[in-house]
Amino acid sequence: MIRKALLPVAGLGTRMLPITKVVPKELLPILNRPAIEYIVQEIIQSGLDTIIFVISSGKEGIVDYFDINLGLRKFLEERNKVELLRLVDRIESQVENLVAVRQKKPEGLGHAVLMGESIVGNEPFAVILGDDLVASDVPCLKQMLSVYLELSAKYEDLSVIALEEVPREDVSKYGIVDGDRVSENIIRMRRVIEKPSLNDAPTNYAIIGRYIFTPKIFEHLKRIPKRGGEYQLTDAIQGLIDDGYPVFGFFFQGMRLDTGNLKGYLKAILYYALQDPELREVVLEMISK
């Protein structure tokens, strides 16, 4: 039902400078895999088959990572490196439809999402931001799709946005929402404010980087004004709400790992190392020493 995921990956990654001068933050390794692969896996495990990367100049490596590298294949074949060939093949075949569109100017998340309009076409789609990995039993996007499906029986043109409660002092880093409880883990959103001050934040319910939209969002993205040089996705979401479209916030099950800053990045590496029996030993031994 939802086949396409749009991944805005055009940003400069300034919070991770200086490495992001030369390596896109999405390609920074969490162990031996780029951070973006964990997100792509979540998307594929949730049953989607088309990934639309919104890139900018210098970010082509993200798309190349999932594309077929004939030279590397030939090299490994000639040397009979069967295991490595299998490893590479698994990465290169996981995304069925790989699309890249360009955001030529850094005009914000709202603008980046709008760049995907013609590829998304007239069907609901997911937007996933590259910073937030979610470790969970059921992939976070899959949980959201279940909620979307369930609510679709009752509502038309609905959106579902992943939420997490964050410490009060962090509200100014996120889109913060207010709304009415529909069930234990779902609210119907009434208001969304991008990066409010502590005083202006009505709640500590933060938008994390996962959204399900219908193409209605594009109409609103075309209507919103630029603020501080950028078009905010949050303003278009408020536009949907103001026009009476149902927008739901969903508190997912799982642990979010924000790889967009140094501490979060380190936590993500440790988290995934601790999941692996051999690497776990290495980490624990190192700490005990």
Per CB under 6 A, residues contacting ligand G1P are: 109, 129, 131-132, 174-175, 194, 206-209, 233-234
Q: Which is nearer to ligand G1P, 67 or 107 (CB)?
A: 107
Q: Which is nearer to ligand G1P, 228 or 244 (CB)?
A: 228
> In this structure, what are the phi and psi dihedrals at residue 286, rounded to the nearest 5 degrees?
-60, -45
Q: Which is nearer to ligand G1P, 66 or 205 (CB)?
A: 205
Q: Which is nearer to ligand G1P, 5 or 273 (CB)?
A: 5
Neighbours of 213 (CB within 10 A): 28
Q: Which is nearer to ligand G1P, 271 or 283 (CB)?
A: 271
Q: Which is nearer to ligand G1P, 206 or 247 (CB)?
A: 206
Q: Which is nearer to ligand G1P, 76 or 129 (CB)?
A: 129
Give yes or no for a contact between 152 and 56, defined as CB atoms under 8 angstroms apart. Answer: no
* Smallest separation, CB 99 to ligand G1P (Å): 22
3-state per-residue secondary structure call for the chain: CCCEEEEECCCCCHHHCCHHHCCCHHHCEECCEEHHHHHHHHHHHCCCCEEEEEECCCCHHHHHHHCCCHHHHHHHHHCCCHHHHHHHHHHHCCCCEEEEEECCCCCHHHHHHHCCHHHHCCCCEEEECCCEEEECCCCHHHHHHHHHHHHHCCCCCCEEEEEEECCHHHHHHCEEEEEEEEECCEEEEEEEEECCCCCCCCCCEEEEEEEEECCHHHHHHHHCCCECCECCHHHHHHHHHHCCCCEEEEECCCEEEECCCHHHHHHHHHHHHHHCHHHHHHHHHHHHC
* Smallest separation, CB 66 to ligand G1P (Å): 22
Give the residue at shortest CB distance from ligand G1P: 175
* Smallest separation, CB 89 to ligand G1P (Å): 32
* Smallest separation, CB 174 to ligand G1P (Å): 3
Structure tokens at 73: 């294949």
* Smallest separation, CB 32 to ligand G1P (Å): 25
Helix 262-275 / helix 35-45 crossing angle, nearest 10 deg: 60
* Smallest separation, CB 39 to ligand G1P (Å): 12
Q: Which is nearer to ligand G1P, 250 or 273 (CB)?
A: 250
* Smallest separation, CB 234 to ligand G1P (Å): 5
* Smallest separation, CB 1 to ligand G1P (Å): 25
Give yes or no for a contact between 35 and 26, defined as CB atoms under 8 angstroms apart. Answer: yes
